[in-house]
Structure 1
Amino acid sequence: MDGMRLDGRTAVVTGAAGAIGAAIAADLAALGAKVVVADVDLPGAAKVAATLPDAEALPVDLASPVVVAEFAGAVGRADILVHNAGVSIVQPFVESDPAGWDLMWQVNLRGPMLLTKLLLPGMLERGWGRLVFISSDGARAGSGGEGAYAATKAGLFGLAKTLAREAARAHVTANVVCPGPTDTPMLRRVSEAEPGLVDKIARGIPLRRLGAPADVAGLVAYLCTERAAYITGQTLSVSGGVTMH
């Protein structure tokens, strides 16, 4: 199919040692991109990179502006930037610790802003680029226990829409993908404390199943191709119908 290959493109995926990030990295690599597998967990990133045909693992701590700058310098050229990394602390808002807010703000919003600011100029100069921000349906529709998390992830909506307007003439698109309930090791760990939680969540989804990392990765990969060149400034949910807009 014309316009679906990414040969010659370099893609950076943050949080790529995790389930969704690894799936995104794999799909981009399958389309021909060279993938920079970025994560604060370097051994985990290296394991993912080792499974891909043309990839390298690099460490990045999005909470540190100095490290973000060093990472951007090590990457050099990036045609595709997928902001997948995130930190979530689940607790009722009135019980939450502002120190936790700071960490989520640094990783979920400030980090993507800083990294984009460093890598976007190259895309603008070359006249092509793809920015994809992984947010959350919790940010789009609200989610109990995720007030501060949702606030930081919601900030990506405004950032992406602004970048979509500012970068359009250089053929750089910016979009947001919002996963809904997704079957990841993190969800499974949470469910250990509440037996039956996964089944309960699945029953509330119109498609009657949790999402898989591949469900999210498929949409992200498409948005990075030439076939999606006319899609920008959009927020798209991958939620099995939980949220409909």
Structure 2
Amino acid sequence: MTQQRVLITGGASGIGAAIAERCRAEGYEPVVIDRVGDGIIADLSSPEATAEALQEALKGGPITRLVNNVGIVVPASVEKQTLAELELAVSLNLRCALQCLQAVLPGMQDAGFGRVLNVSSRAALGKDLRSAYAATKAGLLGFTRVWALELGEHGITCNAIGPGPISTELFNKANPPGAPRTQKIIDSIPLKRIGLPEDVAQSAAFFLDERSGFITGQTLYVCGGMTVGFAPV
């Protein structure tokens, strides 16, 4: 069934790979676009490369589920954050999401059904050394709300998830298991553990489900409770 195809950007590793695997378990056909892996290979920081990859993805038929997962972190203090870093973060974290939705939207509208999931971050609420990252991840929350309002009449929902500390290769490289800095992060989490990619995939599966059709415009923080007292009620 073409309605079961789901496009996942950045789905070759980490959270994206876990979401792709969960989608397979749910009976969907994951279509992954990433710089590496077995899916469609493309540098999604380039609008032109993104357009070509989307054209390739749609050759297999309409896509009615979209996970805007790809993103980049460019940590720096506000004094040292460069405009080039900001432009890169905007292109990969925001522009790519809009471009992907615009490509798959006609198929969703024709089907009268769609699920859009934006992978934001707890950093959207504020985090030091994350000017470009936090701004673009907060921008995804704006996209989520606007798209929910505009697309609801077509049977299309749009929601977001905001992962907290998740044990990916990138996270573990920056925060080695057993290191004091890593332990400090764990101590700040009410559940007293680092999250797993599968924790995020569980939430993604809920929002992508056909039965989640009366939930739209919402953000779910998958963070072990770290956002309690910080996120708005």
- TM > 0.5: yes
Q: Write the deviation string for residues 91-129 of structure 1: whole angstroms up to 9, x where unpaired.
A: 111111111111111000011111111111210111111
Deviation at 1:134, TM superposition (A): 0.1
- Taking only the aligned residue pairs, the percentage that are identical comes to 36
Alignment RMSD, CA only?
1.7
Query: Structure 1: 5+ residue runs without aligned partners?
Result: 1-5, 47-56
The corresponding residue for 1:51 is none
Greater alpha carbon shift after TM alignment, 58-67 vs 224-233: 58-67
The corresponding residue for 1:154 is 138
Matched, 1:102 2:84: no
CA distance in 2, matches of 1:222, 1:193: 30
Deviation at 1:195, TM superposition (A): 3.0
Query: Structure 2: 5+ residue runs without aligned partners?
Result: none
CA distance in 1, matches of 2:8, 2:50: 13
The corresponding residue for 2:40 is 58
**TM-score under structure 1 length normalisation:** 0.88
Matched, 1:138 2:123: yes
Deviation at 1:16, TM superposition (A): 0.7
> Structure 2 vs 1, CA of residues 226 and 21 (structure 1 numbering), >3 Å: closer, same or farther?
same
AA aligned to 1:236 is L
Instruction: Output aligned runs, 1:36-185, within 5 Å.
Output: 36-41=31-36, 45-46=37-38, 57-76=39-58, 77-139=62-124, 141-185=125-169
Matched, 1:33 2:28: yes
Matched, 1:211 2:195: yes
Deviation at 1:178, TM superposition (A): 0.2
Matched, 1:220 2:215: no
AA aligned to 2:20 is A
Instruction: Output aligned runs, 1:225-236, within 5 Å.
Output: 225-236=209-220
The corresponding residue for 1:49 is none
Conservation of the 8 A alpha-carbon contact between 1:7 and 1:31: no
Deviation at 1:37, TM superposition (A): 1.8
**TM-score under structure 2 length normalisation:** 0.93
Conservation of the 8 A alpha-carbon contact between 2:2 and 2:63: no
AA aligned to 2:57 is V
